Amino acid sequence: MAVSVLKKYHPKTIGITGSVGKTSAKEAIFTVLGSHYSARRNGKNYNNEIGLPLTIIGAETGGNSFWGWTKVFLKWLGIIIFPVKYPEVLILEMGADRQGDIKYLVDFIKPQIGVITDISGSHLEFFGSLEGITKEKGYLAKHLEGKGTAILNIDNSQLKKLKSQTGSKATTFGFSEEADVRATDISYNYSKDENELKGLSFKLNYKGTSMPMRLNNVLAPHSIYSALAGVAVGIELGLNLVEIGEALENFTLPNGRMNLIRGVKK
């Protein structure tokens, strides 16, 4: 059902995977692209072989209800039979806890852009080694549709090695000098009287251009990786750095992940 929707509407499709940081990167990319494109991303825990097709269709799970799944079928039938305003861009987080999970998802979704946030020891029991995880997650970067672009965290040693193996165009992000999209000069922002914290800022460096970026709602410096992934995807889809910076000022992380929450006496 999902394949038939993709074939009819041909959205630009972005796949996101990694051991950590997938959801935050998805939100950053959605924040950047949502201001210029009609975009949809998967929510809740819809990052698997059931949730991703439901996201593509634009439906909620039917759960244990026959009528719930009947509604899913009827919604799918409606968007196949009738022309509807379908999103220009799909931003799809792809989870994997066993070998073959990413391959299965990539083979029917066929993303044109693949973002890999990190490789570490999560779910190691099912992959045996970091190399096993890299092979699984790396399937996304190596099997992009057409002249696809892999977007990789160059600060991760496993992804650094993967860059030369993708066979696709590769754009890297991170803090190191090797990164194509690089963050430096990270600092916290305060009000003029320095009594109110106003998020993070950093200097974005890209192809000889440097400009300040503000994350007004974010406190954790490691979340800058997610913002950089958003920058890289935005550039790939034709946005300029000013447009991307303006969008990221409104970037908010998923709940419980170091958002700046203003209190009643802020």
Query: For 107-142, b where at least 16 C-beta lie within 10 A, e where not — what string?
Result: eebbbbbbbbbbbeeebeeebeeeeebbbbbbbbbb
- 155-211: pLDDT as tens digits: 999 999 999 888 779 999 999 999 999 999 999 988 877 778 888 999 999 999 999
- Beta-carbon contacts of residue 250 (< 8 Å; ≥ 6 apart): 31, 216, 217
Q: pLDDT class for 11, splitting at 50, 70, 90?
A: very high
This prediction has a pTM of 0.94
| DSSP helix/strand/coil, 226 | helix
Q: What pLDDT sits at residue 42?
A: 95
Could you tell me where the DSSP H helices lie in 110-150?
124-127, 130-142
CB-based contact 2:53 (threshold 8 Å): yes
- 165-177: pLDDT as tens digits: 887 799 999 999 9
Domain architecture of the chain: domains with CATH: 2-177+224-247 (3.40.1190.10)
Mean pLDDT value of segment 224-239: 97
Mean pLDDT value of segment 2-28: 96
Average confidence score pLDDT of the chain? 93
CB-based contact 132:158 (threshold 8 Å): no
Percentage of the residues of the chain whose pLDDT score is greater than 90: 78
| DSSP helix/strand/coil, 218 | strand
| DSSP helix/strand/coil, 44 | coil
pLDDT for 266 beyond 60? no
